[in-house]
Amino acid sequence: MKKKRNRQILAVTWLFVGLFFAMMGYTCHYAVTHRQTLMNNSYNTRQEILIAQNSRGSIYAAGGQKLAETVTDGEGKETSVYTYDNKFSPAVGYASNGKFGIEAFANYYLINSNTRLSDKVANDVAGKKYPGDSVITTLDVDLQKIAYDSLGMYSGAVIVSEPSTGRILAMVSKPDFDPNEIDQIWDTLINDKESSVLLNRTTQGLYPPGSTFKIVTALEYIRENPDSYSQFSFQCNGRFTHGEERINCYHGTSHGSENFTKAFAKSCNSAFASIGLELDRKKFGKTLDELLFNQELKVDFAYNQSKLAMDENTTDSDVMQAAIGQGTTQITPLELNMITAAIANDGELMKPYLLDRVETADRSVVKQFSPDSYKRLMSEEEAQIMTELMEEVVKSGTGTKLSGLSYTAAGKTGSAEYNKVKSDSHAWFTGFAPVEEPQVCVTIIIEGAGSGGDYAVPIAKRILDACFEE
């Protein structure tokens, strides 16, 4: 009896020992794999030690231009200085009054110093801080300036990415702010609930996608009708009625007889509302999941989730609205850009990223970031079909301002109603160029501007011209 009890005690003891080592192993693994997140936690006192020991590093554009640096005055006070004022806010962000943008998620690197030991000794002798490591971003100064200037006085967002790698080349959000004045204007900014200046509209702005969502609806229809989608036909008289629900085409335009390609190119709301009613709503919901709706994204910067619920209980009215990107549908410019980039990259989405590498003060590379596959959003065949549809938008549809140029382009426009006044709409465009070998993916929203073809497409043209026109 005593031996049996001893064996039980020993077994329990070994169980707790095993649990202890397992917990220790997990803790160590977590600390290593999540060291950046832990370091950026405001409760981590290690931050204060590093800040006292090291000067904050600089932030550079891909071409080597300095975007942000730390300047020390005669009294030893450090101040963050931003070279291009408003143009890179809030992509670069700010480093006081909390942190945002690259200043926030790259904080772990910027407050560390991997400079040579000899330099550290020299700084110790001189009574100076060690120079912090710098981060080199993927941002292109020229494209950023063009995107920023093209948006003008409008509120909205522009994101430009490289489909084959996921590199973000430009990220603009307006209204904006001057990070050099963040301390002086902070109270004004946080109390301005109407303009939401501190919101990065590119990654956090949630909007009805309007007709750009027809990319998703078309993809679902093709998936459910792989052998017959090309036989689709519809007679558009400018409106579509089902029960008590009526869907109007933009400005009541009557598109006449349409096949699937023409309905997409002309952005026919009536046709796509009818398509929405034909779809299997459970399958539609699965496609939304596959396209990253209603879920966390594997990106390093702050964002909001795009949202649309779709299942077998979704009403006819709601599915008609969803099919044309209205109703409860909400999307960020970032996610629309990701879906578009996947189409351009044969269906495979690359993880969007803003940091290229981390360097010491003497330009030795500490860490190199490389392109990484996010997931496959669609098959190569599906991506090819969607490319052909989007190419037709430019050739004969709502995006013809991008036709007849030295490069080829594919895209989708959108005019998204956002209140009960039907004439009020956001202008959208998302697309890529050149079609044969996509190098650049552009997504634009202009708040309250109206037609995507009239307002967003010209901005896309200016950006693409800068990339490809000699």
Residues of the chain predicted below pLDDT 50:
27-35, 37-39, 41-43
pLDDT of 455 reads 92
261-272 burial code (b ≥16 CB/10 A, e <16): bbbbbbbbbbbb
* Structural domain boundaries in the chain: 57-121+136-210+218-231+275-470
Ordered strands of the 410-417 beta sheet = 168-174, 156-161, 440-446, 425-433, 410-417
pLDDT of 422 reads 58
Q: For 210-243, how does the pLDDT look when each residue is reduced to its tens digit (9 = 90+)?
A: 999 999 999 999 999 999 999 999 999 989 899 8
pLDDT of 244 reads 84
Distance CA 325, CA 319 (A): 10
pLDDT of 243 reads 86
- Quick one: 57-121+136-210+218-231+275-470 is in which CATH superfamily? DD-peptidase/beta-lactamase superfamily (3.40.710.10)
pTM (2 d.p.): 0.88
pLDDT of 33 reads 47
Residues in CB range of 99: below 8 A, 6 or more apart: 93, 107
Distance CA 114, CA 191 (A): 40
Signed CA dihedral, 109, 111, 117, 119: sign only:
positive
Helices (H) and strands (E) in the chain, counts: 17, 19
pLDDT of 31 reads 44
